[in-house]
A and B are shown apart, each in its own frame.
Chain A
Amino acid sequence: MRSRVAILLLFPLLLAASCGKPDPDKIKADIIGEVNRTPMLYTVVASAQVIVTEQDAPDSYKRYFGSRVVLVPVKATLKAGVDLSRIEKVSWNADDKSIHILLPPPTIDIESTVIDNDRVVSDVGPFRFDFTAEEIASIASRGRKEIEKLIPQMDLARPASERAAQILADLCEKLGYTNIKVDYPNNPVTP
């Protein structure tokens, strides 16, 4: 009888203890470091924002136990410019002081992202768990992917190339070149 009661007591405790235990080795394996020495000439900076809403699906049985909705605003800082290590062509002529530079296509990077913690809004029913920091991060990562997906549609590439061409043209002018031509893909410009 006693052993049965002990099993009855221990079983739920073991069940509860096995839930959500982090693995320390996994945490260590995720800590990495990397140095990128690619020279980038950033010419445009912008801020992108998206609000991610997550809730139970309309056909989910969980709705009967109370609502569980969260709004997570995500902000990203974007920088656009050209990778100087990928400059397609540089040719110069000392006699007529001319120089011709062909720039590579512009690159747009996400420099940093921020979850606007002060504006995270949630509505959680009494029978539901609150949103954890891990869940909020998981939802925010989807917002980041949405921003990343829409980067090509943002009007950043052309101004980035134009400004990069202008900066390099100014540099060449300081160096004494008078006939300067800086091109970039599909959009040639002669400052």
Chain B
Amino acid sequence: MKTKTLKQIIMAVFAAAALAAAGWWFFRSCVSPMKNGGRETSFSAVTLSRLSPTRQLRVMSIYKEVVVGRTKTENTLLGPMERKIYAIYPAQLNIGYDLSEFGDDWIRASHDTVYVSLPPVKVLNEGGQFVDEARRRVPIESGSWTAGEMNELRTRANQEMLLQCAEDGCFSEATAQGRALIESLLHSLGYRNVVIDGVTLPSPRTSTPGR
């Protein structure tokens, strides 16, 4: 009889503890803004800075969403626990030419032919930033993450974007695209023949050019 009563007491204590834990979770969830409305958002004035001139010709832009994540072990009251975070970063890589790097003699015209010497295409993003971090999504997240850890995640997303684009052959495609673009631009400016890096690209036009 005593054993049975003891078991019942233990079960009741466990049930009460579980109910209390669920109640605490529910209470904190209720007062979390993510679950309910009642939020107020305000903005500071938008400041515009570092306005500077540039001379970039973008020939291709690649948009991707890259997934990066990491895990760590945190010591809690219940012992060491694994925490993880996986984030999806939208990213845009711009490839093209920096015209300020073109030499003085990059282009030369002679009668109806124009000779062009092009440098290799390059990444045009300022500061090597490809990700649109303000549009990131974090579908998997447990534990708390410091500013340093989030910065590291963003750096890895930038590296992953560059790596994926290089593996996809985007730079060789951008090189071909860039040559086609310069050729098309010079044809539209009146030249019948365009010679890029020693390769002649005849005009697809049948009409008489202006020069």
Contact = CB atoms under 8 A, between A and B. Distances in A.
B46 A31 contact: no
A115 B40 CA distance: 20
Contact of A118 (B64, B87, B135, B151): B151
A22 B86 CA distance: 11
Main secondary structure of the interface of B (DSSP, over half): mixed
B72 interface: no
Secondary structure at chain A's binding surface: helix, strand, loop or mixed? mixed
A156 B49 CA distance: 11
Contact of A143 (B65, B132, B134, B136): B134
B81 interface: no
Contacts of B137: 30, 134, 137
A5 B125 CA distance: 61
Bin the interface of chain A by size.
35 or more
Given A114-B133, A144-B134, A46 B189 contact: no
A175 B107 contact: yes
Interface in B91-106: 91-92, 94, 96, 99
A93 B210 contact: yes
A127 B109 contact: no
B1 to A, nearest CB: 15
Contacts of B126: 45, 77, 79, 111-112
A54 B39 contact: yes
A139 B41 contact: yes
B211 interface: yes
A36 B63 contact: yes
A92 B38 contact: no
A173 B131 CA distance: 38
